[in-house]
Structure 1
Amino acid sequence: MNILKLLIVYPIDPYGEKYGGIETNIKSFIKDSPKSFEFELIGIKKKGSRLKLLKWQNIIFEGKKIRFIPILNVKDPNTRTLIPLTLKFVINLFLHKGKIDFRNRIIIFHRVEPAYALYSLKEKKILFIHGDIRNFINIYCESRWRRIRSLYYFLDRFVIKNMIRIFIVSQKGLEYYRHKFPKYTSRFKFLPTWYDPLIFHKFNNLDRAKILSKYKILDKRPIILFVGRLELAKDPILLIDSFYLLTKKFPNSQLIIIGDGTLRQKILKKANFLFGNGNVIFLSKRTQTEIAEIMNVSDLLLLTSRFEGMPSVVLESLACGLPVVSTNTGDSSLVIKN
């Protein structure tokens, strides 16, 4: 069996709880990979973690044995700081790349910035683009690049020509890149968003009462579910406002919020003001198995994002038999009808 050595470069902590679609994508990719794939990961570690900084170590990640080296200590990867996490990661990658053996590996990036630090390497490189970069002009975009997007677009061309393949999870993003870089059209490929059908499916013999009790959810209908980061891009303010209108017609409605982010306290304060101690339940971060259980007892998934690629939570919900109401963003309309 021919072994393919894949080196993923991304600021992820295998033992941490950083929220986001890219993290989910990386985990699923490693988990579902064939035995011929041998993984190494350059990432980060949380301060106080038992992982050793700047040392290769063998770990079990998503059921697979991989080699991991953290190049940066982070207090909380979910908290925005004056210096962005990605910038700190790129600086440390540039400073410590001499300690890492890149030979005979295919290097995989999930953001363009780390590719700048490794631009001179001759190894084969692959880039995953999670969305549509034109969203930088969106006022809800969290990226600091939004203020200097012309610089991003300028640097982007050097990264693109340095890749043997670019996978894009958005159909609209794929069309944009092929139009912008006609010379490299064949390098761009559409990568459909996927989900794990062993986890996300409609439960047979559902013990609804047991699941509701497990998560301290009242047996009041309808139950509206939100799963995502509490950040501007997901517009949780619109989520609360929409749910408030719903309670005018269905006063027993419950909103279950699974996720965390910088807007958590603001959302919590607004929910308490509008609903008191009832109606809205914050469950913070949950595993995929737990999310699937909650989807199976919910009545509707509500997605209020200002922009998306193809949100995996939509596919996961539909797989569980849970209807979805969403803003018309990204590729959601390809699977959400009526």
Structure 2
Amino acid sequence: MKKNNILHIIIGLGKGGAEKTLYQSIIKTKNCFNHKVISLTDSGYYRNLLIDNSVEVYCCNFKKKSLNVLPFIRILYLLLLNRKYTFQTWMHHSNFLGGIIGKLFFVKKIYWNIRGEGISDKHSKILTKFIFKMNAKLSYFIPNKIITCSKSAINNYVNNGYKNNFLLIHNGCDTNIYKSNINIRKIYRKKLNLDDNIFVIGMAARFSRQKNHLLLLETLKSLNDKNIPFVCLLAGSQMNKMNKKLKNYIDELNLKNQVILLDQIDNINDFMNAIDIHVLTSSYGEGFPNVIIESMACETISISSDVGDSSIILNNNKFVFEKDNKQDFLKKLLYLYNIYVNDINTWKNISFKNHKIVKDFYSIEKMINDYKMIWTK
């Protein structure tokens, strides 16, 4: 049977939610489709992983502030060369560039992929705001379909003028990889010299204004002031002592003995097994946070600010707090800490239900089947 050809166009291949979904969707369907990937910028984390799986990857090294036109010429050439492929573009800049060029080259099928909830008027760059508005107009005649991973994104984009031509494909989690493992928990904690019974809070997120680590640290200070014994593990890009801004926050709030910086890590499954609660304190920009379902799959309790589809995934307002609200966040943390200390059966019951929710509604198999269906049309 002849395989359909899919050309993926993405801004870069570093560690991120969109990049991870692109990688998973390719690896899990490579027996059904011929995939190629164009990174508009550099290589990043997923390049070698894709190449190791016999996927052709082209990096154009496009730089925003550079006057060098060669990367743009290379992009044009690669898109022209593969114009008979179905174009699957990922995120705003790729949707814009890949969509326009694809239309000019008479590409028959162009699918946009939008990940986050939307853009922020306060925090988004001017170019991103411009492309966001231009894509709203282009959405009426370029993409055959706009794929997104969250209901909140659909509502936000339609309200901002995008054509209501969306297909909802939730992110999926591989529960054969992400699952509870007591041995991993013990080994991970032993490496960090953490007692088996210490209450461990964790957050896996890059250091950025969007993720709002300051809210987390200020709330941890309030927890510390109440003499509650805990440790917090922070993993992600720039989560290290070289980050002076982060280090100053920790020092000023007197949390040196409570916070451990792990930097960027490869095995999120191990991290999620080592902690008792995963928190997400984002202020904006989230669509469908992968870390929530990854923690839940590992039977680790997750709480999140009310951004994107977090409240839909968690399906319990006791695990969701008002964004940027320290008091509400602290209230939810204390509620869960009391269950952890005083009612272990309820704690285990919540943990087990978390895994079941992911398996029933957010499995990797469901996500892959949805991508197969759209790419086969």
The TM-score, its normalising length taken from structure 2, stands at: 0.71
Q: Is the 8 A contact 2:203 2:234 kept in 1?
A: yes
Paired amino acid for 1:169: C
Describe the shift of the 1:7–1:32 C-alpha distance in structure 2 as closer, same or farther (beyond 3 A). same
**Of 105, 110, 118, which residue of structure 2 is paired with 1:125?**
110
Q: What's 2:22 paired with? A: 26
Q: Is the 8 A contact 1:168 1:191 kept in 2?
A: yes
Q: Secondary structure at the match of 2:61?
A: strand
Q: What's 1:209 paired with? A: 186
Mapping for residues 1-338 of structure 1, pairs under 5 Å: 1-13=1-13, 18-43=14-39, 44-45=41-42, 61=50, 64-72=53-61, 83=64, 94-100=72-78, 101-118=81-98, 119=100, 120-123=104-107, 124-133=109-118, 135-137=119-121, 139=122, 141-145=123-127, 149=129, 152-178=132-158, 184-185=163-164, 187-203=165-181, 205-206=182-183, 208-214=185-191, 216-219=192-195, 221-261=198-238, 264-275=243-254, 277-287=256-266, 290-307=267-284, 308-336=286-314, 337=316, 338=318
Q: Is the 8 A contact 2:93 2:131 kept in 1?
A: no
Aligned residue pairs: how many? 303
RMSD over aligned Cα atoms: 3.0
C-alpha distance in structure 2 between counterparts of 1:33 and 1:218, whole Å: 40
C-alpha distance in structure 2 between counterparts of 1:321 and 1:286, whole Å: 20
Q: CA deviation at 1:304?
A: 0.4
Range that drifts further, 166-175 or 247-256: 247-256
C-alpha distance in structure 2 between counterparts of 1:89 and 1:322, whole Å: 48
Q: Is the 8 A contact 1:11 1:89 kept in 2?
A: no
Q: Is the 8 A contact 1:30 1:64 kept in 2?
A: no
Kindly provide the CA deviation profile for residues 95-149 of structure 1, in whole angstroms up to 9, marking residues without a partner as x: 223432123211111123234434122112111101232x322x3x343446xx3
Q: CA deviation at 1:247?
A: 1.6
Q: Secondary structure at the match of 1:26?
A: helix
Paired amino acid for 1:268: K
Q: Is the 8 A contact 1:41 1:67 kept in 2?
A: yes
Query: Could you tell me the percent identity over the aligned residues?
Result: 18
Paired amino acid for 1:200: Y
Q: CA deviation at 1:270?
A: 1.3
Q: Secondary structure at the match of 2:57?
A: strand
C-alpha distance in structure 2 between counterparts of 1:333 and 1:91, whole Å: 45
Paired amino acid for 1:121: F
Q: Is the 8 A contact 1:20 1:228 kept in 2?
A: no
C-alpha distance in structure 2 between counterparts of 1:226 and 1:62, whole Å: 30
Q: Secondary structure at the match of 1:206?
A: helix
Q: Secondary structure at the match of 1:275?
A: coil
Kindly provide the CA deviation profile for residues 154-182 of structure 1, in whole angstroms up to 9, marking residues without a partner as x: 44312452111110112022134446668
Describe the shift of the 1:266–1:318 C-alpha distance in structure 2 as closer, same or farther (beyond 3 A). same
Gaps of 5+ in 2: 319-377
Kindly provide the CA deviation profile for residues 189-224 of structure 1, in whole angstroms up to 9, marking residues without a partner as x: 111121121221112x5354322123x252262100
Describe the shift of the 1:91–1:311 C-alpha distance in structure 2 as closer, same or farther (beyond 3 A). farther
Q: CA deviation at 1:7?
A: 1.0
Describe the shift of the 1:97–1:20 C-alpha distance in structure 2 as closer, same or farther (beyond 3 A). closer
